[in-house]
Amino acid sequence: MNYFSRFLALPQRSVYLFGRDKSVWSLVGGNWLSKFIYFRETDKMADNLRKKVYVVGVGMTKFLKPGSTGEDYPELAKEAVTKALEDAKISYDLIQQACVGYVYGDSTCGQRALYEVGMSGIPIINVNNNCSTGSTALYIGKELVEGGLCDCVLALGFEKMAKGSLTSKFDDRTNPMDKHVLVLSNRHGFAAAPVAAQFFGSAGREHMEKYGTKPEHFAKIAYKNHKHSTKNPYSQFRDEYSLEQIKNSPVVYEPLTKLQCCPTSDGAAAAILASENFVRAHKLENQAVEILGMEMTTDVPSAFSENSSIKMIGFDMTKNAANKLFQKTGLKPTDVDVVELHDCFSTNELITYEALGLCDVGKGGELVDSGNNTYGGKYVINPSGGLISKGHPLGATGIAQCSELCWQLRNEAGPRQVPNAKLALQHNIGLGGAVVVSLYRLGFAGNQATSGSELKLPEEMKRLKSSKFFTKATSMLSYAEGIIDKRIKGSVKLRVADDNSDFVGMGCLKFENGKIDISFDPNAKADCIITLNDGVLLDILDKKSTFEKAFFSGKLQVKGNVGFLARFMSVKNALLAKL
């Protein structure tokens, strides 16, 4: 029955099977079955048979200026895949299929790249979909797992690019951008500037003409993304610029200046997708990120029929993909916490805000001015630095976005961690055209290490005068994880006795592999137990005392492994300094 159900979940295969074998068709009753297959083709029924898909491992290289290191694409790919396998804690021989994306390269570069990792004979599918190539590889891998054809698939993207702006490589055939160029020419004319910058710059001009958006709005987006990139070790550029520096950098095509345009890059990224059975069999629940939904769309007639550069660069296909995604998942754009979107140019980021539903059409400038696109606002958009600063190796970009969002949801993004990141949105677009829009969240929240931003203080502990210690400390776990020695392994429990009752509040910290789990379970076991009164802890928080003074004066008792306690004192001191 399961085998038959798989065919019904893939209607084109079912029709092909019964169309060829008329004896089988007659045996099962052709007319009845044709109606049944048609019924199964509806999205609602097919969705019920789709399996859940999880990202269980990610890895990427640092993005680099083309040709700056001498590394070729097989070496870049090997580094990314090796990191993803190590992250997933599995070996390459468990990969059943691979989907490999690149734009610039000869046929079967995917095979040549993966042969550096292993030659297991698996199917390797090479993908080229312009700037959305990486997420297209992800999409195909997701379909393979979701349809029950594979339990573990590798999605890999890489690029070894030429220096300078993108150019066409074939002049003896129809260019897939010919209709885009016609819209551009009709809208703002054709100039002596990089074609991609003209496409997206023209869309920015149109937005200014229609909605009163200012060049400064686009510059502010570049300012934000360059600032975000300073905390990303994988970013090609890690320099912070003032708004004036961005506005006054050389003009590429108005309103775009050089610092508002993404660079060409060399680099690679990889992601391992798995079924729920695979996740459980390999005990990967703690890190599995579920792909809640992933939609791919292509252009509709409005891209070329409305003489609109905004429509020409893919506004409607992004809008259509986002609408389908949110409708199918039952979620809303306002539910999203963190976003990685395709900011090939600052103008496209602002226009994409509106296409994704993060704000109303025409209100992108207001979203920028409100600060709701960065830390402290409603959304954190492109915490990685985006394409503008992180870089844009075409085949790798979509999978690098996925990697960043997985790290954010797993609370592993270090100094760029988005507080309380629970729902992540990805957008990757390629002119020509294709767009992939995806939603991610932790797949097994009950098994996930609890971050401070996700943790709620038990109501009874709020009676303690020192409860602010637990409230503030839990919100700073991401910072603590960024400085802790990953070799530290063990747990410590803090028992705080209320001065005015018999109540004792308890918090337990568990350290392992650089991660910190926290709980308020009074029955949790610990290697070391610290006991002190509420007033004593309050004095420590108010800088009137220290843990050391309280210990030597007998106001603080330590039981258990004192040696372990000493090992994480540096973390304690760093946290106290910020409380």
Residues marked as catalytic: 131
Number of Cβ within 10 Å of residue 437's Cβ equals 30
Question: Are 313 and 198 spatial neighbours (Cβ–Cβ below 8 Å)?
Answer: no
Sign of CA dihedral 567, 571, 577, 579: negative
62: left (phi > 0), else alpha (psi -120 to 50), else beta?
beta
Q: For residue 392, what are the β-bridge partners?
A: 264
Q: Which of 207, 209, 221, 216 is nearest to 361 (CA)?
A: 207
Distance CA 289, CA 232 (A): 21
Distance CA 100, CA 109 (A): 9
Residue 98 CB contacts under 8 Å (≥ 6 apart), including other chains: 110, 114, 122, 123, 124, 125, 153, 154, 155, 156
Buried b (16+ CB within 10 A) or exposed e, 480-502: bbbebeeebebbbbbbbbbeeee
Strands (E) across 247-362 are located at: 251-253, 256-257, 267-275, 289-297, 338-340
Distance CA 430, CA 424 (A): 20
**Residue 211 is encoded by which pair of tokens?**
């909605």
Q: Is 465 helix (H, G, I), strand (E, B) or coil?
A: coil
Instruction: Render 514-555 in DSSP notation, one character per residue.
Output: TEEEEE--TT---SEEEEEEHHHHHHHHTTS--HHHHHHTTS
Distance CA 158, CA 169 (A): 18
**Residue 156 is encoded by which pair of tokens?**
């890999």
Q: Which of 209, 205, 210 is nearest to 193 (CA)?
A: 205
Question: Are 482 and 517 spatial neighbours (Cβ–Cβ below 8 Å)?
Answer: no
Distance CA 355, CA 344 (A): 15
Length of the chain: 579
- Could you tell me the CA-to-CA distances from 157 to 42, 114, 152, 404, 494 in Å, in that order? 32, 11, 17, 14, 46
Distance CA 560, CA 527 (A): 6
Question: Are 438 and 293 spatial neighbours (Cβ–Cβ below 8 Å)?
Answer: yes
